A and B are shown apart, each in its own frame.
Chain A
Amino acid sequence: MQRIKLRKKLKEPGGPSALSVALSLLLVFFMTMPAMAQSLEKRLNLVYRNTTIHEVIVDLQKKTGVDIAFTEKLGLKNRKVDKLLIKDESLEQVLHRILDPLEVKIIKGTNGLVLIKKDQEKAPGILSGKVLDSDGAGIPGASLRLKQGKVSAVSDSNGAFRISAPSAQDTLLISYLGYATEELAINPSSENLNIILSTAKANTLTELVVVGYGTQKKANLTGSVEVIDAGKLKNRPVVNVSQAMQGTVSGVQFNYGSMGYEPGAKMGIQIRGQGSPFVVIDGTVGDLNDVDPNDIESISVLKDAAASAIYGARAPYGVVLITTKSGSLGKKVAVNFSTNSALSTPIDKPHTLDAYTFVKAMNEMHDNQSVARLFTEETVDRIIKYMKDPSGPQTIPDPGNPKNWATYLLSNGNNDWMDIHFGNGNRTQQNLSVAGGGDNSSYFISAGHTYEKGIMKFGKDDYRRINLNSKLEVKLSDWWKFSSNTRLVQSDRNKPGIDGDYALALHHVLRTHPNQWLVSPNGHYSNLSRIPAMLASSEGTTERSLTQRFATEFKPLKNWDINVDYSIDLPYTDYEKRYLTAYEDRVDGSMSAIQATVPSYITKEKSNTFYNSLNVYTTYRYDLKEDHHFSLMAGYQQESSRRDLLGGLKRELIAPSVPSMTTAIGEMRAYDEMSHWATMGYFARFNYSYRDKYLLEINGRNDGTSIFAKKKRWGYFPSLSAGWNLHKENFWTRVSPYVNTMKIRASWGRLGNQRVAAYQDLPLLAIEPSLNWILNGGRPAYTTGPNLINPNLTWESSESTDLGIEMSFLKQRLNFVLDVYQRMTFNRLGPAKALPAVLGATVPKENNSELRTRGWDLSLSWKDKIGDFSYGISALLSDYQSVVTKYNNPTGILSTDYVGKNIGEIWGYETVGLIRTAEDADRINKSKSQSFISAQTWRTGDVEYRDLNGDGKVNQGMGTLTDPGDRRIIGNSTPRYQYALNLNASYKNFDISVFFQGIGKRDYWLSGNMFWGFNAWNQTSLFPHHLDYYRDTEGSTYSGLGINTDAYYPRPYSDNAQYRKNQQNQTRYLQSGAYIRLKNLQLGYSLPKTWISKIGLQKARIFISGENLWTKSSITKGFDPETASLGEYGSGKNMFVQAVYAAGLNVSF
């Protein structure tokens, strides 16, 4: 049956090739060469009456199982046979008997027989060769077809093929699932062809795209789904998938966590400005960053509600589907190895001021404040002396306490703490994989290792990950397949344990004064250098996850599939902090414990999770004649998870070399945390396509979750989408030379969001372990007041509409995709209606507001090949904005949301400038126009704010929308116009790719000492650019840097009551976060085959690759546009952005 269908397709030129590709793949499984030889020899005994030769051959084919290819041109349908008697004859004999008189020649092909007209056979060429993948491994089961000759063949288990070419001049089409179809012109001299299929499939509409619970032809997609080419993620010296994905998908935002570019930094992902997407790895929920980028076959990003609706409430913010590589049946063993090593170095690392300039600036700040100078003349003199002769001591015995070294204000060193603490890091990655398959089973096994050492010079600061992945697929019979997938990933993150907190370590280092001594005259590091504590203490987190998935697929009937899969995920986290006593020296050379590190302690936390999920779903396809294709999928899912954390702390370690709870003798504490949840869902999808021209898809999912109260637990989430392939219409033929393909699609869908904290419907009392109060010798446990609850809490839901247009031009070399979307979030959970504070409790969230997000994603790509030179350009551009459309804020108070608020809005004053003259300052002081901001005296060099509403006072009015006083919206922190540009080219054995990424518009309001430089005396971080502050007095030996009235920064003060007057949110100091960055540049060279084949290699490529090599941004120095606002202790206090220089090697054999 299947074989007849194949022939039908052969007879009709054109038609969808994906089906034939799929079927020819099946042929390989069912028909092997020895089988055919047997069939040809098999003796036949048959009688035919009143029939045609065509029907005889069709029947013989059925009976022998031998594939016989022929075209209608032979006219066999017209050759009638009254009676044909076959007695103990082989198929070959029979065919010769009936066809020889008709001048039809029989050619033995690789997998069957081909019938051709004798007179056409001018040059009876047999083409042979091999179909290979880009790694040089043979591709079995690839389908080959001659365009004019209408002859087809399939490659064997080694990728070798033979095909008879009836005509000397023809085009050979080679296709295989998942690879781009190749076209090859053949001529009489063609022989021993080696055809390499490329996985780059952006231009083909026949490729299959992984969607929720199945695959779909790209041409038939009606939702907004974007596929990331795995090639773009390869060979990047980045440590995880999220870093590699940045800039590869249009409309997806990536951002760093609060620690910036720390080792192993996982980037947060948001699709279209929403929350983090639901990540499914090979059918199981997982963490994107737990996958080795080398193991990835493809990534599908489901951007609109129609595409992600099948995952219902688990996927309110879109879905990322990762498919890892697999082996395939009958494929020879392919081994791949890749490695790279890299050096990383901070870009734009600021430098600390020299100590003398620093102390003069600090003293000037204190002069401004009319308080005592911070550094005495004696100290300043010592600093000057030390800078002239750095061989002298960096400090003196503390005059008030002569046993100790003087610190802080009395220290006279000259240290660049940025150079002392931050140097270069390094990275290395290896991945080895083995893939292949036999007759009934296939396998893929891989192991990966990733290591990154951070740029901190002291203390541990690194990240290591090991990935082990194995996939096994067994074909038990024609109708039953079974597969097993095991993934193990372990990551280790080590941080210096200073003051118990990595973020604090950064905060401390960034504000250490340059005069602070590094090494005492005795030769020991100072406590304030933070080095002793960094070296003594450490904090390590090991995350381990073992995922096991069993899946099985039945085909009870031809068009009916049933899938059942069961997965278990066992994430395990092991956290250990060793907080050991560190020492610094005293004047007499004795070492004394640094008080903050006493008592030492060890704390451990171990958490186990048991997650399991069951999916049962079934698909039935039905074709009504040739034109109507229906498909129905329905299924059930349940999942549950339970987490159990056990933690403990014990103080006073006896021996630092043996840090354990057993070897500690002090206070002991133990605690646990347990949580569990479950979901259940029923889902269904209906697809209809009319000649692949009109497409319709309906999804629905009924979801239940344990998060909500019993009666609010279930939600129903439908979606509807439709598409129209215009290029399949007859009228398109006139346009098709210019616009090759064009599809319009529209979708609508509703999604729920169950990602809210559990038990918000229950008034709960928190039980806290130890009160900040000692009673009867101990710190008692206590409870706190129950939270206020909202029993009506239910699903937040969103409705998304998406309009998409996909076009290709110029022989499909230019592709264009544009999506325009709107997402309405209803019943939005958010800060509830503002209530008077006398309520005395946090107002529980309510489902009371609405948010509208509108945006568009554009992608444009060009790909061409000129001789040996092939190149491609792809560009992505996207934008969105969110507006609050409903909010219960009748007074329009600005401290919460209000209707019409653009998310990201920054309110602030308009800056007139710095006050330049004493008259201006007098005017402001006399009129008290700025007394709302500060009642302190305003001086020259302070900021003058504009009185926008002309009432003579600069203030916040009622703080409402109708009376905002003199504040207005001065900017918006939402990143706008995010773009990426990827250029790649290859010539012969050389390849290059250049990848730019950036943001078109974004505002930052930065605060704290990293931005302002000056702050309270011990919170000041001065870098050279901060010296551009207002000064109107001459400098002296001990204070001040000389007049600078045309300054950028205002007059500095040391006290919050004073400096806050100049640090109000305002236009003058608003920063632009727009940037363009050369994210990656890669140069590769593939060693010539002739060399490497001698040592048994299929392929070997060496490359160099660089990350963050160049950036253009107008943001103030010391900040990076990607991480400026981050930092647990203030803007910019995160790990510096780094450039990475790597070299690597890919080998396959």
Chain B
Amino acid sequence: MKTNIYAYWVFLLFTVTALSSCKKDYLERNPLTQISNDEYWKTATDLDKYILQFYTTFPVIESVGTYTGLTSWDAVRGADTQISGTASTMWNGARTPVTSGGNWTWTDIRNVNVFFENYRKCKDPFHRYQQYVGEAHFFKAKFYFDKVLTYGDVPWYNKPLSMDSEELYKARDSRSLVVDSILSNLDQAVTHLSSLKTVAGGSNRLSKEAALLFKSRVALFEGSWQKYHRGTEFATAGADPNKYFRIAKQAAEELMKPEYKTGIYNNSAPNEDYNRMFSLSDQSANPEVLLWKKFDRTQNLSHSYQIYVSDRTAGISVTMEQIQQYLDKTGAPYDYLTLAKTVKGNKFLTKIAQDCDPRLSQLIWIPNMLMWDNSYGKGTFGKPFLDKSGEYLNNTGFQIKKGNDPKDPQAGSGVAWNTNSITSSIIFRYAEVLLNYAEATAELGETVDYERSINLLRRRSGMPAFVANTDPYKNRYADYGYTISNELHEIRRERAVELAAEGFRYDDLRRWAAHKLMLGKRPKGYPLDQSEWTGQKINYQVDNDGLIDPYVKQLPSGYQFNPRRDYLECIPTNEITLNTNLKQNPGW
């Protein structure tokens, strides 16, 4: 047994080695590539990096609509002015209750509340991070406005909730309260944000100007909503529409002051300026654009816009309802339907392009226009893509061109999966403020200063000054089911023209309670000239006016919008099961 003495020694050695390596903190392993909340929020940079995440929530080219983003957003959501191959469920009454999801996601609101809960920990002087506080206020307002747009009344939260918060089970706050809170946040944003002249990042970053624009948008929406839905379940009892119109007007007037860096993109080319602005890949020198998203292929951030306003259509078409909004070049209402009885097809397109507001021929393709002139060769527009389908489809004859630049290297690319376009995506532009101002002022019954507002837009496109016409054709395309003044009619018409295919129409129709425009009706196309299609089979029927009736089979009785339900979305039924204090929207 003598040898075994060594065994004990060896064992002892191993044991000592083993035990010495089991340090007390052996099991303490902190994260190596993540930062805990307690260690964050120390510097202005921390606040900057945190707030940046919200910039991607703006609807832009690659995030909404079809391949053309905002340009097709109205068709996807549902409007009279734009359609896709299949009728939108928004307007045909074919919507069904949802059990979960929808827009009822609260991550962004929580995350912005996290900012408010933590930013005071920052050790830097306030002026170093004031911009980010302003941005937080702006984004909170934006996120809540999105909720109000979809659901009306929503619960307001001032702090991030925890799993045992009683507020999880609170009832909805009235939309007036929520909108007032949004406006108050926007006031804070205006106070803290830098102006466009000084903000680091220029018009790629939020500014006082952007916040003022957004404030006028929110207030105008709420004023119109409360006014035109008054007496229905959608309005708030006792709400004062004029209060909001006044706020909208004030915010817009503030921004119209010369101290702000704003303007209109006008290179004195009335037949091009309007379209060219949307085709630019860089808006930093454009005073009209208050916020935009930049794309850069070397940064791996690009989309496929140009191909879908040249070689293809993204399946989206403009309707006759949109076209009829355009005045003639003298500023007088134009009788499109009478013209359509005799002049059809390409000739119709060419004729209206000659006669009407130049913005019309900058919105849609007119025969013989140059579509692309680049390495893919030269392409001109022959006639609308009525014989095609899918992402090539045009089913009205009015085919979207807005934003096309024939010289763009991607225009006309017939290559599939081309995502190399870097056309900018405009988020806020000054033109909207002028239209908001005019509408809010007119709604208040006050005098509109057209020279400082709408006439700036008209002048860019070579149109005469604003006149409150008596429009003999307005019932064809603007029968809201209630009477409005000629002036307001003209302002709304101007809005539809200037902001065509920018994603405004859907919300405008809702705030104006404009379901009469579509209920029981079908959107129409241009007067079809069968002789242009001999040998090519196209499936379209025409109506009594000779206009293409693209939805005649899909919607035999027209749109079946439910005015007592469809103005607001269904709150996911699971949420009502989980929180019995949450009441469902009307009709759902």
Contact = CB atoms under 8 A, between A and B. Distances in A.
B285 interface: no
Interface stretch (A42-50, A436-444, A833-841): A833-841
Interface string A819-844: 00000000000001011111111011
Most chain A beta carbons < 10 A, residue from B29, B56, B85, B579: B29
Nearest to B94: A935
A735 B105 CA distance: 70
A1046 interface: no
B492 to A, nearest CB: 30
Nearest to A672: B33
Interface in B31-47: 31-38, 40, 46
A755 interface: no
A764 B417 CA distance: 37
Interface string B272-305: 0000000000000000000001111111110000
B96 interface: yes
Interface in A279-312: none
A595 B410 CA distance: 10
A479 B4 contact: yes
Most chain A beta carbons < 10 A, residue from B3, B35, B395: B35
Interface stretch (A78-86, A254-262, A674-682, A911-919): A674-682
A843 B91 CA distance: 36
Q: Report, as a range, how many residues of chain A touch the other chain.
A: 35 or more
A931 B89 CA distance: 13
Contacts of A931: 96
Interface stretch (B256-264, B329-337, B347-355, B569-577): B569-577
Contacts of A680: 22, 26-27
Contact of B109 (A374, A595, A775, A840): A840
Contact of A840 (B160, B201, B395, B578): B160
A562 to B, nearest CB: 5
Contact of B389 (A374, A596, A675, A959): A374
A52 B111 CA distance: 95
Contact of B36 (A480, A562, A762, A840): A762
B389 A759 contact: no
Contacts of A836: 168-169, 575, 578-579, 582
A640 B162 CA distance: 34
A765 interface: yes
A772 interface: yes
Interface string B367-395: 00000000011010000001111101101
Contacts of B465: none
B575 A372 contact: no
B21 interface: yes
A904 B29 CA distance: 37
A552 B157 CA distance: 64
Interface in A782-806: 782-786, 788, 790
Contacts of B200: 776
Contacts of A767: 33-35, 49
A1118 B92 CA distance: 38
B52 interface: yes
A866 B21 CA distance: 60
B8 interface: yes
Contacts of B7: 479-480, 554-556, 562
Nearest to B87: A1057
Given A366-B389, A562-B11, A651 B107 contact: no
Given A370-B554, A771-B52, A376 B537 contact: yes
Contacts of A678: 26-27, 29
A1057 B110 CA distance: 32
Contact of A667 (B85, B114, B300, B386): B300
Nearest to B50: A783
Contacts, number: 306
Contact of B415 (A378, A592, A599, A774): A592
B105 A837 contact: yes
Contacts of A373: 389, 537, 539
B266 to A, nearest CB: 26
Nearest to A593: B415
Interface in A917-944: 931-936
Given A766-B34, A960-B577, A840 B53 contact: no
Nearest to B63: A772
A372 B106 contact: no
Nearest to A398: B414
Most chain A beta carbons < 10 A, residue from B26, B94, B414, B554: B414
Nearest to B202: A776
A960 to B, nearest CB: 6
B416 A527 contact: yes
B468 interface: no
Contact of A774 (B36, B97, B294): B294
Most chain B beta carbons < 10 A, residue from A371, A598, A640: A371
A636 B418 contact: no
B14 interface: yes
B418 A400 contact: no
Interface stretch (A13-21, A115-123, A268-276, A402-410): A402-410
B413 interface: yes
A469 B370 CA distance: 70
B486 interface: no
Contact of B10 (A480, A772, A844, A932): A480
Interface in B94-141: 94-97, 99-100, 104-111, 113-114
A779 interface: yes
A89 interface: no
B577 A958 contact: yes
B413 A773 contact: no
Contact of A785 (B26, B56, B110, B299): B110
Given A594-B415, A783-B53, A773 B204 contact: yes
B574 A764 contact: no
Interface string B231-273: 0000000000000000000000000000000000000000000
Contacts of A956: 99
Interface in A125-158: none
A662 interface: no
Contact of A765 (B34, B96, B389, B575): B34
A313 B442 CA distance: 73
A840 B27 contact: no
Contacts of B301: 772, 774, 779
B252 to A, nearest CB: 27
A771 B55 contact: yes
A527 B49 contact: no
A231 interface: no
B372 to A, nearest CB: 9
Contact of A775 (B31, B155, B162, B205): B205
11 contacts: A373-B537, A374-B390, A401-B376, A564-B11, A674-B33, A680-B26, A765-B37, A778-B299, A779-B301, A788-B162, A839-B110
Given A636-B22, A785-B107, A788-B162, 5 more contacts: A371-B554, A372-B389, A373-B537, A678-B29, A775-B205
Q: Which 10 A-B pairs have the closest CB atoms?
A: A840-B110, A935-B94, A370-B553, A840-B106, A785-B111, A674-B32, A401-B414, A706-B29, A596-B417, A763-B37
